[in-house]
Amino acid sequence: MTATVRHPGTTLTEHVFAVPLDHSRPDGEQIEVFAREVVAAGREREELPWLLFLQGGPGNTAPRPVGQADWLRVALRHYRVLLLDSRGTGRSTPANRQSLTARGTEAQQAAYLAHFRADSIVRDAELVRRRLLGEDAQWSTLGQSFGGFCTLTYLSLAPEGIRDAFVTGGLPGLRTSAEEIYRTAYPRVAGKNAAHYARFPQDVARVQQITEHLADRIVLLPDGSPLTVERFQFLGMLLGEGSGSPRLHYLLESAWIRSAAGPELSDTFLEGVRAQISLAANPLFAVLQEPIYAQRSVSSGGTSWAAQRVRGAFPQFDAERALEAGEPVLFTGEMIYPWMFDLDPALVPLRETAHLLAERGDWPDLYDTERLARNEVPVYAAVYADDMYVDRGHSLATARTVPHLRTWLTDEWEHDGLRVSDGRVLERLLAMARGEQ
């Protein structure tokens, strides 16, 4: 049964779909996928084209809209929008430390989670399209970040379902291994660190002082888990967002408080750190971050904790070495490390499952390069020149190999441009589709 609610300027209709866990076994185990339909108030009965939004991540829920905000305001002028909670997220059948215990052993949990990558998400979307729109109807797609990866998988598996596609910060390398992803990522992250310290030079000493403090003693976050130097460095995830550098600076400002025992890290700071580095709300981001790059024809040996293996080639991220040399301590970025599954309470129960996924080598390919080379679906993609999360070179290389894919290369926005540009990023892509740009 669907439920409809009204927010200022919008009407929201909730949909729940039963989908196969394994689409190669349609009569096997079923899970649920949730989607929220959004239409501008007063246009509910109009025959509007559909726009499917594919969220970034992996493992993030679709936006929870309140009225017409950000890019949604622009989209609702033209479309009926479907916000899909990809499998395992939001109101879809959950996949976290609590629900996965019902799956049995770690090996059984890993086998289950192997069905939560882009190929399964796309097949879910196709099933939803046929049920909502009909067998022969098409929709447009908007893929943000990992949602753009899903878009290229969609064009590989079922391009007949797509009228046209929009991508923001998410054109993947089609033949790029996880190891190569991180070999190109570490230098970009180092550049973001340099830009942050140039903007806030006082943070160099602050970060060194905090790092020395953490290296000398056990410090616990409010959830009782230890704040190690490496966990502190994970705050660098912020540096890939447009407002991330100032937010990091303000967090560091709150670091110290004087107690009866002398200076110590403040509760305000520790809670702020916990809120940033805890993956309790999105454990799939940690478990599947590297498997989203795995393809048997590219890396038959699996991912094998690529970010950890590659890190040694970039000694500037060694905090102990930086302190000894009197150099700035660098934050890391969108890297998931095996030690996270020893320290984050939301991840500890998934430790062995994550190791099994990292060791798996028979991942199906996600991109059909031959089919993509014959692509006829119009694709309009925003590529951010200084994107910390997605390599610009990989994105542009993909654009050169996929016909009918046009790019807009911009240095005006960071990776979160779709969300923070007040609709201007989406406006530009829609203008490209109309032939106005």
- State the catalytic residues: 145, 362, 415
Q: Helices H, strands E: what count in the chain?
A: 19, 11
d(Cα 334, Cα 356) in Å, to the nearest integer? 21
Cα–Cα distance measured from residue 54 to residue 92, given in angstroms and rounded to the nearest whole number: 14
Name all contacts of 211-218 with Cβ < 8 Å and 24+ positions apart.
211/319, 211/322, 211/323, 211/329, 212/323, 213/265, 215/319, 215/320, 215/323
Angle at 204 between CA 192 and CA 421, to 5 degrees: 35
Using CA atoms, how far apart are residues 401 and 297, in angstroms rounded to an integer?
A: 18
Q: How far is residue 389's CA from residue 56's CA, in Å, rounded to a whole number?
A: 11
The residue with tokens 């996928």 is 33
Q: If we measure between CA atoms, which residue out of 171, 136, 152, 166 comes closest to residue 392? A: 171
Quick one: tokens of 321? 């070495």
Q: Distance (Å, rounded) from C-alpha 18 to C-alpha 28?
A: 11
Contacts 24+ apart (CB under 8 A), 264-270: 265/210, 265/213, 265/219, 265/227, 267/222, 270/219, 270/220, 270/221, 270/222, 270/227
Structure tokens at 323: 């302190």
Rg over CA atoms, the chain:
22
Quick one: angle between helices 351-359 and 106-113, nearest 10? 60
52 close to 147: Cβ distance less than 8 angstroms: no
